[in-house]
Amino acid sequence: MSGVMLQSCGSCGRVWQFRRGGCPQCGSTAVREVTASGGGTVWSVTQVMRAPLPELDLPGGYAIALVTLDEGPRVMCRAETGLVIGQRVTVGLGADGLPLARTS
């Protein structure tokens, strides 16, 4: 399991990431916590060369990806450098506790 937490609707089956009290699709409040399997596909990716915080401003920058998980939701992750849109990845938690997308 990936360690990336999601929520799932007990009524319509929709799965999402951002914590809510009800389903954004059908409104049901039968919400369950689930852990993402970790499989996903890169929806988009960028190499950030100018960080919003000075402590993150590293030479060469760092990659951020939006990954569409196999369960359905799109989640934002740190990413290995060099990923491309459409690529299969595994999302897990990195050493810093942040989600990280890597080639499987």
Partner 1 sequence: MAFLTGVAATAFGKYSGSDAPSLMETAARAAIADAGLPLEAVDGLVCGYATTFPHLMTATVMVERLGLTPRHAHQAAVGGATGVVGLLLARHLIAAGACRHVLVLGGENRLTGQSRDDAVKTLAGVGHPVHEVPLGASVPAYYALVAARHLHETGASERDLAELAVLMRRHAAAHPGAQLTKPISVDDVMASKPVATPLKLLDCCPISDGAAAVVVSAEPGQGASIRLAGWGEAHTHQHVSEMPDDLGLGARIAANQAFAGAGRSAADMRLLGLYDSFTPTLAIFLEALGFAPPGRAGAMAREGLFGRDGRFPLNLHGGLLSYGHPGVAGFLAHVVEVIRQMRGEAGDRQVAGPPPLAYCHADGGVFSSHAGFVLERTA
Binding residues vs partner 1 (CB under 8 A) = 16-19, 43-54, 56, 61-62, 64, 66, 74-78, 85-86, 98-99
Q: How far is the CB of 14 from partner 1 (least distance, A)?
A: 12
Q: How far is the CB of 96 from partner 1 (least distance, A)?
A: 9
**CB of 12 or CB of 49, closer to partner 1:** 49
The whole-angstrom separation of Cα 88 and Cα 75 is: 14
Q: How far is the CB of 54 from partner 1 (least distance, A)?
A: 6
The whole-angstrom separation of Cα 27 and Cα 23 is: 5
Measure Cα distances from 54 to 28, 43, 49 in Å.
42, 28, 12
